[in-house]
């Protein structure tokens, strides 16, 4: 059993050495440590939602579900403990003091190309939040390893060029704007009604209009970041839909507008074609009728 530092803190590397690593039925390597507060059935349902075609790219990763992973050294430790505290640590149980210094997840290099992703289960308000935290980590790891397929890149970029409303995360929203030379938090310019458009724009020749449309000033680096973020988000939302029923509006954040539902559905259907659900899981998109 891992020895505790003062207050019940444990080095993340020690947890990785001394905690049994298990393998879910679909191949995800994981472990639990301390008072996670997560039921075994809920954990299994979440882990096994990841399609085997995605798991195959996660071989270097082990997911550790711990009460709290700290983002910074704890205070008021003696000199010897402070030296240890400079390394990533986890708490074996929840306290308000540790929660103030905790982070949703922390990546720790374990040597020999292996990586531990320590996920703070007790920072999550509910199963929805825990699932999404796990799935977005899985999605980013997959995209880092496998990249973005051309089919998804084409779809997402066509939507961006068409000024489809919103995005799936703040990263995707900002990179998409920056790719078009807009401020990171900017909004695409609204198009004027057809009958007023000629009056609201300076007169240009037809040839000049074609040239401007065919050669937009695109920041290729930001375009790549947008496509990577959008694909990661789409995978995470798709996995979330396999693990549990949820309302798309639950993903809403104040910093950016959510991607229009029809555009998201198109992305998710493509992801489902690329990564079919495992046995026992089903993908479906349901639209709510306006009252």
What is the SS3 string spanning 216-274? CCCCHHHHHHHHHHHHHHHHHHHHHHHHCCCCHHHHCECCECECCHHHHHHHHHHHHHH
How confident is the model at residue 16, as a pLDDT?
95
Percent of the chain exceeding pLDDT 90 equals 69
**For residue 194, pLDDT beyond 70:** no
pLDDT, greater one: 23 or 79: 23
pLDDT band at 287 (very low <50, low <70, confident <90, very high): confident
Q: What is the pLDDT of residue 251?
A: 86
Residue percentage of the chain with pLDDT more than 70 = 81
Instruction: pLDDT band for 195, please (50, 70, 90 cuts).
Output: very low
Q: What is the mean pLDDT of the chain?
A: 86
How many angstroms separate the CA atoms of 130 and 65, rounded?
A: 10
- Please provide the size of the chain in residues: 291
- Pairing status of strand 61-66 against strand 29-32: parallel
Mean pLDDT to the nearest integer, 180-184:
91
pLDDT in tens, 229-239: 999 999 999 99
Joined together, the tokens standing for residue 153 give: 């890149």
**Between 143 and 288, the higher pLDDT residue:** 143
The reported pLDDT for the residue numbered 205 is 42
């Amino acid at each position: 059993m891992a020895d505790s530092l003062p207050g019940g803190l444990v080095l993340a590397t020690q947890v990785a050495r001394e905690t049994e690593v298990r393998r879910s039925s679909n191949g995800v390597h994981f472990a639990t440590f301390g008072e996670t507060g997560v039921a075994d059935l809920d954990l299994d349902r979440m882990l096994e939602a990841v399609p085997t075609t995605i798991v195959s790219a996660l071989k270097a990763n082990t997911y550790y579900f711990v009460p709290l992973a700290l983002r910074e050294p704890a205070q008021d430790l003696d000199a010897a403990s402070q030296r240890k505290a400079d390394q990533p640590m986890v708490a074996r149980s929840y306290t308000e003091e540790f929660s103030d210094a905790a982070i949703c997840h922390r990546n720790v290099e374990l040597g020999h190309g292996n990586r531990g992703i320590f996920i703070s289960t007790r920072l999550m308000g509910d199963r929805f939040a825990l699932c999404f935290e796990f799935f977005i980590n899985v999605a980013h790891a997959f995209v880092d390893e496998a990249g973005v397929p051309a089919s998804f890149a084409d779809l997402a970029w066509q939507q961006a060029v068409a000024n489809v409303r919103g995005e799936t995360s703040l990263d995707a929203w900002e990179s998409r704007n920056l790719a078009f030379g807009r401020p990171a938090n900017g909004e695409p310019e609204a198009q004027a009604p057809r009958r007023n458009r000629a009056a609201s724009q300076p007169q240009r020749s037809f040839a000049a209009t074609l040239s401007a449309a065919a050669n937009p000033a695109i920041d290729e680096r930001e375009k790549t970041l947008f496509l990577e973020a959008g694909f990661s988000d789409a995978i995470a939302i798709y996995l979330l839909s396999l693990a549990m029923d949820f309302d798309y509006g639950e993903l809403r954040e104040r910093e950016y507008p959510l991607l229009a539902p029809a555009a998201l559905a198109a992305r998710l259907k493509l992801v489902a074609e690329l990564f079919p659900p495992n046995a026992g899981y089903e993908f479906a998109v349901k639209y709510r009728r306006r009252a």
